[in-house]
Amino acid sequence: MHRSSLIAVLITLVLLVVPRLSPAQATHENYRYRVAQAPTAPVIDGDLSDAVWADAQAIDQFTQQEPREGQPSTERSEVRVLRDEENLYIAVMNHDTDPSGIVRNVLRFRDDSVWQKDDVVRIVVDTFHDHRRGYVFSINPLGAKQDSQVDNQLWNSNWDEVWNVKTRVLNNGWSVELAIPFRILRFPVGGGAESTSDVWGFNVVRSIKRKNESASWAPIPAGQSLIRNEFLGHLEGMSGIEPRRNLQIIPYTLGSWTRTTGSDAVRKGELGGDVKYALTSSLSLDLTYNTNFAQVEADDEQVNLTRASLRFPEKREFFLENAQIFNFGMDDGAEIFFSRRIGLSGRQPVPILGGARLSGRVGPLDVGVLTTQTEKFAGLASTNFSAGRMRWNLGSRSYVGGILTSVANGDQRSLTFGPDALVWLGRNLRAEGFFAAVDDTADDTPNGTPNNTGDVEHRKSGGVSVIYDTDLMEASLRTLSIDKGFNPALGFIPRDDARQQTAFIRRSVRLNRWWSRKLDVYLDFSYLANQRGNLESREREFGYLNQFESGDSIRMEWESGLEHVLDDKPFVIDARRGIIVKNGDFRTDRFDSAFAGFSGRALVPGVQFETGPWLSGRRTTLSLTNVWRASPHFLLEGEYELNDVTLPEGAFAAHLWRTRVSVPLTARMTTDAYLQWNSLDDTFSTQLRFHMIYARDSNLFVVFTDGRRGIDAVLDSRQHVRDQALQVKLTYRLYQ
């Protein structure tokens, strides 16, 4: 797709939003709650008999989202809200006619997926009342909590702030009592349109896991996420909040011991830390010095039998916080900002001297600025990684924005820049697009090719998608173009030299029977060619997904595909064994079936089977998963994947095995073990981690890692390189 065409599409999308500057729909006007001022602060202990709660009126009418949309909740809930100058206080009594059936598997101080496993209460707050952003606070009966930021329907579950919650399991249900400090929230202050509003968006959602039921105060349509902020109710009486200073200083000390086969052990100590400071009530600054990620869980091993590069998710806290502002491009196609480019070479850590991040809102603009500097290490030059992101908010949910990223070391520099836009054309219909170009300056391999005038022609990428999504219908169209050699130094491109068109349509019916609560039938089409127009792959897929009333599900898919392998782009399947498929057209038909158990049980099995012609031979894949929650104090997870491949070029079986064992001694003290084996790469790794949370969200980590990998040049031998490390990290959180 030519750059001029992409820019024209983006301009058209922006113009389309002009007549839509009013909200896309009326909000829940009938769902209003006026917050009372607390005469004294309630004691946060889970005991709701505190007399202060008598001053608060009760919310006690909840409406089902699942399974019977619009019907009253099968269990009674009561919510009361108070505030003072520093905190928002919320009390929830979850009545239950069968308290023995309350699902409470997770005993952890924090768990980012607790809402999938247990009974939970979820508090949603939209402080700007703009239907764009908000906060979600989730709590289970054992006090495990999750806190998330929401931005344009994007989750950031790695936002971890300090707030107080206590729960109690009673003979008639369970209670929640929490205090959310205003200092951890962003909200408008001052005069004009951005002044502190008397009204915030607000909702309370209760999940009753054994019934697979979800109900809320302000009704949420079936199939819609709770982060669709236009479905929130109204919390009145929120004016007059003065911004509080939010300064956090988190120093750390680290001691480590490392050893690699053939080398002497190395012992060293480090000091460093982070600073978090709220410049205003809507803009925050984060600083980091001598950044260390010793506590981060090891990457999941993966088997790659595609022509695209593997993508490993970000797990480092500094880069996960406020990450959603830097999203730019298209998932599974072209990510212009990918934070794993910083401080990692492949999957090996590179020391980070320090960094800074500024993020938040300034008037109608969402802004994000990030810069980090890595050390000179193992032949790599000291490098600066920087990114700037801006979004100008239009209407109720649309925006037009842009990004600039820079990677520079010495005489080499790589810039990537471009605009993007998101336009909501209706309640459930949106269009989005982006364009990006790379400008490289380097002595050896510039990311640009001279044209016949002697100038540099920048390599570029762009795409447009249109998406319609409701509970019972979904349809999308997408086109994406990536130049050959397009490689943003701070991005992730799984496959360059590509023109891709995709189409997807889903039709669903709600039967609400034991054998099918909801049935989805869908078609998926994909066409991928290179920039010369030569076909590389084509896929046509038909599938259905049946969700049982119990929460279990079964899925089946049939796919007819074609892979065209070019002479200049052979398909390297297993470099260690020399299995390479060269020029030809190959069928890739497959049949895929899967069963997934309901995540709210103590035992959660899963199985997937896939088979069919693949390239010049055949491929069969079997995946087994199981989760066993023996008690809140013991969790065992296991995953096994077998890929059995038979080709004229060679045959092999690739085994992938992962096991996690978690022993929470208390909510604030946990021991974890993570073991992995990948036969294709001949690797075996172990990570043991002890984590204790003390004082006010301060942390002690003790982490031992042991990794063995085969020597590539010696196939199927007993020769391995072994890396071992023991690290002890202590942090302490200071407030002002």
E strands, 496-616, in order: 498-513, 516-529, 535-547, 553-565, 571-574, 579-581, 584-587, 590-596, 603-614
* 364 — pLDDT class (breaks 50, 70, 90): confident
171, burial (CB in 10 Å: exposed 0-12, middle 13-18, buried 19+): exposed
The region of weakest confidence among 17-31, 519-533, 600-614 is 17-31
Could you give the C-alpha distances from 555 to 202, 429, 512, in angstroms and in order?
36, 27, 18
Using an 8 Å Cβ cutoff, are 293 and 317 in contact? Answer: yes
Euclidean distance between CA atoms 6 and 3, whole angstroms: 5
CA–CA separation, 125 and 233 (whole Å): 10
Q: Which are the contacts of 629, defined by CB distance < 8 A and separation ≥ 6? A: 105, 117, 602, 603, 635
Q: Which residues contact 648 (CB under 8 A, 6 or more apart)?
A: 616, 617
The pLDDT score that the predictor gives to residue 22 is: 34
Structure tokens at 67: 């399974």
CA dist 6 and 428 (Å) reads 23
In percent, the amount of the chain with pLDDT more than 90 equals 62
Q: What is the mean pLDDT of residues 167-178?
A: 97
* Average pLDDT of the segment spanning 555-582: 85
DSSP letter assigned to residue 313: P
pLDDT for residue 555 is more than 50 = yes
The domain limits of the chain are 23-236, 513-548+553-596+602-680
Query: Quick one: average pLDDT of 395-399?
Result: 87
Distance CA 341, CA 346 (A): 8
pLDDT tens sequence across 338-351 = 998 998 887 778 88
Give the closest residue to 386 by CA, choosing from 364, 362, 409, 363: 409
Contact 561, 587 (CB under 8 A): yes
CATH 2.60.40.1190 fits 23-236, yes or no: yes
Q: Identify the pLDDT of residue 18.
A: 40
pLDDT at 15: 44
Token pair of 336, please? Answer: 């212009």
Give the helix ranges, DSSP H, for 474-528.
none
Q: Is the pLDDT of residue 177 over 70?
A: yes
* Segment holding 16, helix H or strand E: helix 3-17
Q: Which of 58-62, 156-160, 345-349, 454-458 has the highest mean pLDDT?
A: 58-62
Q: Which of 302-316, 447-461, 657-671 has the highest mean pLDDT?
A: 657-671
**Across 161-186, average pLDDT:** 94
Buried b / exposed e along 474-489 (16+ C-beta atoms within 10 A): bbbbbbbbbbebbbbb
pLDDT for residue 242 is more than 60: yes
Cα dihedral 552, 556, 561, 566, rounded to 10, equals: 30
Tokens standing for residue 185: 């929230």
Mean pLDDT confidence for 193-216 = 85
CB 74 within 8 A of CB 208: yes
Q: What is the pLDDT of residue 712?
A: 55
Range in 59-73, 85-99, 154-168, 592-606 the model is least confident about: 154-168
At 722 the three-state DSSP class reads: strand
Distances in Å between the Cα of 363 and the Cα atoms of 276, 321, 395 are 22, 22, 14
Mean pLDDT of 10-37: 58
The answer, yes or no, to whether residue 678 has pLDDT greater than 90, is yes
Q: Which two tokens stand for residue 502?
A: 């995709």
Residue 447 pLDDT more than 50? Answer: no
Residues 6+ apart with CB under 8 A from 310: 302, 304
Q: Answer yes or no: are the C-beta atoms of 705 and 686 closer than 8 Å.
A: yes
Q: Is 74 helix (H, G, I), strand (E, B) or coil?
A: coil
Q: The dihedral of CA 107, 109, 115, 116: what is its sign?
A: negative
**What's phi and psi for 362, nearest 5 deg?**
-130, 105
Instruction: Report the residue count for the chain.
Output: 736
Between 506 and 149, residue with greater pLDDT: 506
Residue 363 pLDDT grade (very low, low, confident, very high; cuts 50, 70, 90) = confident
Question: Does residue 23 have a pLDDT over 60?
Answer: no
**Whole-number pLDDT of residue 11:** 46
Residue 648 has pLDDT above 80, yes or no: yes
Contact 683, 707 (CB under 8 A): yes
Confidence of residue 450 (pLDDT cuts 50, 70, 90): very low
Q: Hey, what are 566's tokens?
A: 């070019």
